[in-house]
Amino acid sequence: MTRVHLAIPIRNVASWLDESLDSLVRQTYTHWTASLVHDAEEEEDDQTRALAQAWVERDPRFRLSRPGRVGLVGALNHAMSERGDAEFLARFDGDDICHPDRLTRQTSFLRANPEISVVDCRSDSFRSSGDPLPGGMARYQRWHDGIQTHDDFEREFLVENPVCHPAAMMRADALELLAEDDSNTLLSSPYRDGDFPEDYDLWLRLLRGGARFHKLTDRLLQWRDHDGRTSRVDPSYRSDAFFELKWDHFQRTHIAPDLRLAVWGGRGHGKQWVRALVGAGSPPIAVVDINPRSIGSTRQGIPVVAPEALASLRPDLLILAVGSEGARTLMEQQAEQAALRTVAVAGLAG
In a domain, 249, yes or no: no
Residue 310 has pLDDT above 70, yes or no: yes
In a domain, 132, yes or no: yes
Q: Which of 241, 275, 309 is the last residue of a domain?
A: 241
Which pLDDT score is estimated for 228? 66
Do both 20 and 164 map to the same domain? Answer: yes
Do both 201 and 114 map to the same domain? Answer: yes
Do both 192 and 270 map to the same domain? Answer: no
Query: Per-residue pLDDT tens for 95-137?
Result: 999 999 999 999 999 999 999 999 999 999 988 777 788 878 8
Do both 171 and 33 map to the same domain? Answer: yes
State how far the Cα of 17 lies from the Cα of 120, in Å rounded to an integer.
22
Q: How far is the CA of 157 from the CAs of 10, 147, 184, 188, 303, in angstroms?
A: 28, 10, 28, 25, 28
Instruction: Report which DSSP code applies to 193.
Output: P
Q: How far is the CA of 234 from the CAs of 72, 156, 195, 228, 239, in angstroms?
A: 10, 23, 10, 9, 11
Do both 110 and 157 map to the same domain? Answer: yes
The CATH number covering residue 293 comes to 3.40.50.720
Query: Per-residue pLDDT tens for 16-71?
Result: 999 999 999 999 999 999 999 999 999 899 999 999 999 999 999 999 999 999 99
Instruction: Provide the domain count of the chain.
Output: 2
Query: Per-residue pLDDT tens for 232-265?
Result: 677 777 999 999 999 999 999 999 999 999 999 9
In a domain, 247, yes or no: no
Do both 235 and 273 map to the same domain? Answer: no
Do both 262 and 235 map to the same domain? Answer: no
Residues whose CB falls within 8 Å of the CB of residue 23, separated by 6 or more in sequence, listed in order: 97, 98, 99, 100
282 Cα distance to chain centroid: 27
In a domain, 116, yes or no: yes
Do both 189 and 258 map to the same domain? Answer: no
Do both 169 and 309 map to the same domain? Answer: no
Q: Which of 208, 241, 274 is the last residue of a domain?
A: 241
Q: Which of 191, 210, 241 is the last residue of a domain?
A: 241
Which pLDDT score is estimated for 255? 94
Which pLDDT score is estimated for 143? 95
Residue 1 has pLDDT above 60, yes or no: no
Which pLDDT score is estimated for 236? 78
Do both 232 and 259 map to the same domain? Answer: no
Do both 95 and 131 map to the same domain? Answer: yes
Strands (E), 182-290: 213-225, 261-264, 286-288
Residue 87 has pLDDT above 80, yes or no: yes
Strands (E), the chain: 4-10, 32-38, 62-65, 88-91, 97-98, 118-127, 169-171, 213-225, 261-264, 286-288, 298-299, 302-305, 317-320, 342-344
State how far the Cα of 73 lies from the Cα of 4, in Å rounded to an integer.
20
Do both 208 and 322 map to the same domain? Answer: no
Residue 287 has pLDDT above 90, yes or no: yes
Which pLDDT score is estimated for 179? 65
pLDDT band for position 187 (cuts 50, 70, 90):
low
Query: Per-residue pLDDT tens for 188-214?
Result: 789 999 999 999 999 999 999 999 999
Which pLDDT score is estimated for 325? 85
Comparing CA positions, the residue from 323, 318, 346 lying closest to residue 333 is 318
The CATH number covering residue 45 comes to 3.90.550.10
State how far the Cα of 10 lies from the Cα of 35, in Å rounded to an integer.
10
Structural domain harbouring 291 = 254-344
pTM: predicted TM-score of the whole model, two decimal places: 0.94
Strands ordered across the beta sheet of 302-305: 298-299, 302-305, 286-288, 261-264, 317-320, 342-344
Q: How far is the CA of 286 from the CAs of 290, 293, 298, 328, in angstroms?
A: 13, 16, 9, 18
